[in-house]
């Protein structure tokens, strides 16, 4: 593994561990307070945070396995495990959202005293903590190219929205008995938001697992760097597949057809070296040499 990638993996693990600790603390706080003040919205938020502990644990395991170097059975490395972890996080979100929404709707007809101001306090704490963790995961996940960490960041971002919805529901409930059901509908809304996020995460992870090409700007960058190597007459094809944090590239370059095999091989090596050194998101390059104008 390249040193930069190894460093990125360590940073990703540290952020994932911090996410697990934050989710566990918020889950315990919201579930206990939700039960104490009889608030479906606060309890649903706590259950959502408990699911986040499992989701972040999956991300952590994925990051650990994805960081293993390539071997005989996995010549492209173990990066796909990281994409698979993101897919599992999406499934956890969808399942958790369905459970939260269903339980909240079942409690709509229940009669209980309006939640106390303690419910508002814990939700405000949840919004603040989730805001910090979401920003951190987005920044690190995008920098190191970790799909599962970005998925976890989306999870945290939706948690903020869910907590705000729960906060509004609790506030309405405190206005009087006629708004008592708002607490339960707030819990249902949290569930719907979680489901929508899970579907998005599953979609993004699936695109990686089925070898979707990078965006047009990245492909143009790849072609430009390869074409800048002396002796390259043109770039015929360029393919790339994402394997965890980085991409593996197949590129076809055109050279003078009268050139010797040894000379064309030297140009292919130069293309590989330059792409790997100048295009940070590329892990390795397989260069195919073709005759120009052929």
pLDDT digit string, tens, across residues 123-158: 888 889 888 988 888 888 888 777 778 877 887 887
Q: Point out the least confidently predicted range of 1-5, 105-109, 283-287.
A: 1-5
At 1, is the pLDDT very low, low, confident or very high (cuts 50, 70, 90)?
A: very low
282 vs 63, higher pLDDT:
282
At 8, is the pLDDT very low, low, confident or very high (cuts 50, 70, 90)?
A: low
Domains of the chain with bracketed CATH: 3-209 (1.20.1510.10), 216-291 (3.30.70.1350)
At 286, is the pLDDT very low, low, confident or very high (cuts 50, 70, 90)?
A: very high
Short-list 60, 70, 46, 77, CA closest to 17 = 60
Q: Residue 269: which residues within 8 A CB-CB, separation 6 or more? A: 287
Mean predicted confidence (pLDDT) in 22-38:
85
Q: Looking at the predicted structure, is the pLDDT value of residue 253 above 90?
A: yes
Mean predicted confidence (pLDDT) in 275-279:
92
117 vs 203, higher pLDDT:
203
Mean predicted confidence (pLDDT) in 272-276:
94
From the CA atom positions of the chain, what is the Rg in Å?
A: 25
- At 115 the pLDDT is 61
- At 265 the pLDDT is 93
Q: Is 244 left (phi over 0), alpha (psi -120 to 50) or beta?
A: left
Q: Looking at the predicted structure, is the pLDDT value of residue 260 above 80?
A: yes
At 116, is the pLDDT very low, low, confident or very high (cuts 50, 70, 90)?
A: low
Share of the chain above pLDDT 70, in %: 87
Distances in Å between the Cα of 19 and the Cα atoms of 60, 90, 98, 216 are 10, 16, 23, 33
Q: Looking at the predicted structure, is the pLDDT value of residue 121 above 90?
A: no
CB of 246 closer than 8 Å to CB of 145: yes
At 230, is the pLDDT very low, low, confident or very high (cuts 50, 70, 90)?
A: very high
């Amino acid at each position: 593994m390249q040193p930069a990638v190894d460093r990125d993996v360590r940073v990703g693990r540290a952020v994932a561990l911090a996410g697990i600790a934050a989710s566990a603390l918020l889950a315990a706080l919201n579930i206990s307070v939700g039960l104490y003040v009889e608030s479906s919205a606060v309890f649903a938020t706590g259950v959502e945070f408990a699911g986040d502990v499992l989701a972040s644990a999956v991300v952590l395991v994925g990051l650990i396995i994805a960081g293993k170097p390539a071997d005989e059975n996995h010549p492209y490395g173990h990066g796909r495990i990281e994409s698979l972890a993101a897919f599992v996080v999406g499934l956890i979100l969808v399942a958790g959202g369905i459970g939260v929404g269903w339980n909240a709707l079942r409690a709509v007809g229940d009669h209980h005293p309006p939640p106390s101001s303690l419910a508002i306090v814990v939700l405000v704490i949840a919004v603040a903590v989730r805001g910090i963790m979401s920003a951190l995961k987005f920044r690190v996940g995008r920098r190191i190219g970790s799909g599962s960490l970005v998925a976890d960041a989306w999870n945290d971002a939706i948690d903020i929205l869910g907590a705000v919805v729960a906060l509004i529901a609790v506030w309405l409930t405190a206005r009087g008995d006629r708004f008592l059901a708002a607490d339960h509908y707030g819990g249902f809304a949290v569930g719907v938001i979680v489901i929508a996020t899970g579907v998005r995460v599953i979609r993004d992870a699936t695109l990686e697992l089925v070898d979707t090409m990078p965006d047009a700007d990245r492909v143009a960058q790849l072609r430009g760097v390869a074409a800048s190597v002396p002796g390259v007459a043109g770039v015929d094809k360029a393919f790339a597949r994402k394997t965890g944090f980085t991409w593996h590239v197949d590129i076809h370059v055109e050279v003078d057809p009268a050139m010797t095999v040894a000379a064309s091989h030297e140009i292919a090596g130069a293309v590989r070296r330059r792409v790997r050194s100048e295009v940070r998101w590329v892990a390795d390059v397989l260069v195919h040499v073709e005759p120009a104008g052929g």
